[in-house]
Structure 1
């Protein structure tokens, strides 16, 4: 990694400057460059996000504007790229951190079905076109085809979130394909040095392969037995800055090890993230890494924009536009049958999925940059493809808006400005003040426990404000700035009471990342919702209708002639049995076959349980449900 060697050189020479392109620049020049980066970002990113074009495109445009080919405010593109590569390393670590191997195995059908078919079909079609039509070598065609098969995860997930369609049928299918693409990017990045060595006159180097395998094994074994004890030791220090330093040390250490054996450093960072995905320190690590990742990843996209050959677009517009349209057309044609047949989507949903996934992705920038450095492809070809990918990303938000207008799907947005929150520090924050949230709020108010309630429905706000709810504010709890204004950092408990399962999941993910100290009490609509909340670390999601259903069942049994004692016994046995079943099904909930099988087995077990003993045992259930039942299933 050039950025690491540059930093070593700066430290060795004890010079208060930043190395760019192998030269030392005066400290005031560094400040000038930093100001240019920040100013361009502050102007370009809000503009693109305002027009729903995405932050990634804003960073790319900012880099193009300040680069040597437009305004020329910063001419040293290579120096900026050396520092920004650290952002890609952190991004891969966070992706690995969010992927539990156990959960991936459970989700294998949805992720490794359509996702695998998409990457293979698109990569093979584009690779064959590069080999037969454009005369590239087999290794270069494989890298170009694989990189262009990937789509923009940043664009896709951002657009789904903005339109509140992540929970829709096409949204779930899009997410599954994007998830597999993120996984596929890792071996693709790791393949670049191996393909480069096989393309050399000496052919494939067995020693390089053994070093790669050995380094991967060392990272896996060392991470399994060393990382958790290290984090436990650091956690005892109870120092935020030490935890942050440890997280960065893990990322840098694994990246360094992989680079020393000639493998991509990003592969090491990804492996470190995967090894810690099941760790109890996962959310804390993510909260420490996220600010660094966002800043440096933005710098990476700026460096890509700076290195873009704008003159090529002006001199050869037909070539660039033709390549862009060709990539979009090929991927769209191959994505359509995947959506209709594999994903079982209707025409409208398939069209929306195709529009989101037809563009190029940010991982292609990383892969192509490495391929150019390893001399697998030429610099001119890299510039042409990067320009085509950027244009495809730029038109994606516009195509999404046009398609949405054609099929009359409008993005949901608030009709008025969010409230300004001015209140004392709360002990509890309630997200959603409907039927469930109001009951929680009434009890808290009666106990004189300070709380802040956030409600995103304008109609609900107008109704509740008539009852002098001074602790209620209009706003979206999924917005980080609103949670900061509500003083979530000083609260103790976060109550998720919204009736939208997808909104609940987004809010839970945000709270877990930014406020890991908060105890989350989450409302769950059904079992699938419970499983997804448990994925985010919510220990005991509260199923909103479970307790009332048990009470109705008890009354039904009594109406059929069972004694109160026997009816209470049957209901309590069922409750305990269902809690165990819920935990068992959590491990297989994405596998439809296993889920059905466990349900059938559970029914037989319950029949045998009731037949084995006709005498009631839950005598304490006579007059009221036990405290555990009230707590678990309100």
Structure 2
């Protein structure tokens, strides 16, 4: 049907009057927004291509992003009015990287791996840093710039090495555990290097500026401990009761940004505040869910940072000194392999283990890009040397998978020659429990009690704030989270588990997640606790192992099934079940106590 003439005329008048009312300023504002968005859209598009391309070549996405920045620089890419926006996004990427590192800075972990973190870690950084600083000094850099450069290059890539360890299932082996502990120390050392580097921009004496910055950082650290206990934890407890994921994301962003602003406002690096913001949450039951909520922001914004690193490189220098880039990259790898091996031998590692660890941690770190982007450091090192070093570090990161494989092969060959088939450095020592329990009601607690009795590790998750608080108060290891959200699988270390126990399963959700869990965790036994045979058939049809728990059994059937899956002997399981059943029935005789001892 055609519109009536009067209606058409009225519509035309409204459109004309609307344009007149908005005026030229509104049109210009829209044009400005469009022109500012276009470079961001292009960077996002090219970044996706770079990430997929680097993965297909078995390279770190970091290398792809830096290469993208180089290509854009060569093509004359000009971000125009959105350049400042891209720079802010890049800085936020570094902020969220440090926030994520802080989330892994658990004081419980510090206690269990104190020897490696505070012994092995400092030895490795000191040896590598001094050797690299000496090499930089021989290359003509002043001592100030040489020491800063040596300290920055002594660090290794947390993102790349941790990814390799997980990919090769070495999380529980001494090499993987020790490398991770060293990386924890390096992350903390990187924070303090950043503090000193940023404090030098004011032109003060290096020692004076460094000591003043460290003193303020120590005060911030103490303040973060108090805030974690009396402010942050109660706030997250309150948010957890609302069960609102959007609020969790908002509060996590608030903690990261507010902590960074607070340290930045007193003259310290905003990245220190972001690190402390993450550390405030590391020992809370909300760490995994916060990590899952923050990960998309971290990955996206870090991509902008690494692209900006590539854009900032001095292309004429790199093209004229490509041989120097290769020489620096090879020298960096050689010095760090030697330093890492020396540190390993000092701590009584075998030669094969020292070789494997030396090659695994030989690359440069993403921290080097952050530190070399600080104007004071760039001035101390020199813009030309900064470009060469950044390109060299990117090259070492690209070579990491191959180097790690070479180190592993050499270690295996040395062990074969020395017939070290039962080398203690190869024996797994689990840092994470083999069982994930979903829901800490009666059944979940029974499973946890059985695992504790047999000294088997576990972690539990619950979305019910009351049950979470009660379980924590009773001494269980439990975190806030919902495993039906795949984003939380990595923070919850599901790849390292052998059994997951769903105490309150949903048939619809379980069926939907079965293809994903089979693809990514083929060895994971998924147990569903059900109340009758009909429900058991339904869960069996979607790939889960059902266990029927009738009221009054106290979760014993499920606990026994979990112990069986973990290869606990049938006699021991039966003895524990008998003792547990007697306690549930009110029989606490000495014989029953002995059965549970």
- Output the CA distance in 1 between the equivalents of 2:558 and 2:133: 47
- Which of 388, 405, 409 is 1:384 aligned to? 388
Look up the SS of the partner of 2:141 in the other structure. coil
- Which of 242, 255, 259 is 1:254 aligned to? 259
1:151 aligns with 2:156: yes
- Aligned CA distance change for structure 1 residues 437 and 278 (closer, same or farther; 3 Å): closer
> Could you report, residue by residue, the CA deviation over 1:221-261 in whole angstroms, capped at 9, with x for unpaired residues?
33432212222333344432222111111111111111111
- Which of 267, 271, 276 is 2:276 aligned to? 271
Q: Note the C-alpha offset of 1:80.
A: 2.3
1:399 aligns with 2:403: yes
1:617 aligns with 2:569: no
Q: Note the C-alpha offset of 1:173.
A: 2.6
* 1:488 corresponds to: none
Q: Note the C-alpha offset of 1:125.
A: 1.5
1:302 aligns with 2:294: no
* 2:113 corresponds to: 107
- Aligned CA distance change for structure 1 residues 101 and 389 (closer, same or farther; 3 Å): same
* 1:548 corresponds to: 570
1:471 aligns with 2:542: yes
* 1:96 corresponds to: 102
- Output the CA distance in 2 between the equivalents of 1:17 and 1:386: 40
Contact in 2 for aligned 1:77/1:306 (Cα 8 Å): no
- Output the CA distance in 2 between the equivalents of 1:166 and 1:17: 56
* 1:37 corresponds to: 43
- Which of 497, 502, 510 is 1:426 aligned to? 510
1:127 aligns with 2:133: yes
Contact in 2 for aligned 1:372/1:379 (Cα 8 Å): no
Q: Note the C-alpha offset of 1:435.
A: 11
Aligned pair count?
Answer: 463
- Output the CA distance in 2 between the equivalents of 1:304 and 1:494: 52
- Output the CA distance in 2 between the equivalents of 1:554 and 1:233: 38
- Output the CA distance in 2 between the equivalents of 1:345 and 1:238: 50
- Aligned CA distance change for structure 1 residues 17 and 308 (closer, same or farther; 3 Å): farther
1:65 aligns with 2:71: yes
* 1:446 corresponds to: 533
Residues 201-350 of structure 1 mapped to structure 2, 5 A cutoff: 204=209, 214-340=219-345, 342=347, 344-347=349-352, 349-350=353-354
1:170 aligns with 2:175: yes
- Output the CA distance in 2 between the equivalents of 1:352 and 1:367: 28
Contact in 2 for aligned 1:92/1:269 (Cα 8 Å): yes
- Output the CA distance in 2 between the equivalents of 1:264 and 1:113: 26
- Aligned CA distance change for structure 1 residues 208 and 356 (closer, same or farther; 3 Å): closer
- Output the CA distance in 2 between the equivalents of 1:315 and 1:178: 34
Q: Note the C-alpha offset of 1:264.
A: 0.4
- Output the CA distance in 1 between the equivalents of 2:100 and 2:268: 19
Q: When the two structures are superposed, what TM-score results if normalisation uses the length of structure 2?
A: 0.66
* 2:494 corresponds to: none
Q: Note the C-alpha offset of 1:28.
A: 1.8
- Output the CA distance in 2 between the equivalents of 1:263 and 1:547: 57
- Aligned CA distance change for structure 1 residues 616 and 202 (closer, same or farther; 3 Å): closer
Contact in 1 for aligned 2:564/2:570 (Cα 8 Å): no
- Output the CA distance in 2 between the equivalents of 1:448 and 1:388: 59
- Aligned CA distance change for structure 1 residues 316 and 569 (closer, same or farther; 3 Å): closer
Unpaired runs of 5+ residues, structure 2, are 1-24, 414-506, 548-556
1:183 aligns with 2:188: yes
Contact in 1 for aligned 2:529/2:558 (Cα 8 Å): no
Contact in 2 for aligned 1:88/1:300 (Cα 8 Å): yes
- Aligned CA distance change for structure 1 residues 236 and 326 (closer, same or farther; 3 Å): same
- Aligned CA distance change for structure 1 residues 109 and 282 (closer, same or farther; 3 Å): same
- Aligned CA distance change for structure 1 residues 373 and 357 (closer, same or farther; 3 Å): closer
- Output the CA distance in 2 between the equivalents of 1:429 and 1:522: 21
- Aligned CA distance change for structure 1 residues 397 and 243 (closer, same or farther; 3 Å): same
Q: Note the C-alpha offset of 1:306.
A: 1.8
- Output the CA distance in 2 between the equivalents of 1:101 and 1:73: 45
- Aligned CA distance change for structure 1 residues 619 and 328 (closer, same or farther; 3 Å): closer
Contact in 2 for aligned 1:192/1:374 (Cα 8 Å): no
Contact in 1 for aligned 2:121/2:183 (Cα 8 Å): yes
> Could you report, residue by residue, the CA deviation over 1:12-41 in whole angstroms, capped at 9, with x for unpaired residues?
xx99999xxxxx992222332123212212
- Output the CA distance in 1 between the equivalents of 2:560 and 2:531: 21
- Aligned CA distance change for structure 1 residues 16 and 98 (closer, same or farther; 3 Å): farther
- Aligned CA distance change for structure 1 residues 178 and 207 (closer, same or farther; 3 Å): closer
CA RMSD of aligned residues (A): 4.5
- Aligned CA distance change for structure 1 residues 144 and 542 (closer, same or farther; 3 Å): farther
> Could you report, residue by residue, the CA deviation over 1:188-219 in whole angstroms, capped at 9, with x for unpaired residues?
11121334446459964987676555544444
Contact in 1 for aligned 2:529/2:546 (Cα 8 Å): no
* 2:364 corresponds to: 360
- Output the CA distance in 2 between the equivalents of 1:441 and 1:251: 37
- Aligned CA distance change for structure 1 residues 436 and 242 (closer, same or farther; 3 Å): closer
* 1:586 corresponds to: none
- Aligned CA distance change for structure 1 residues 442 and 544 (closer, same or farther; 3 Å): same
* 1:160 corresponds to: 165
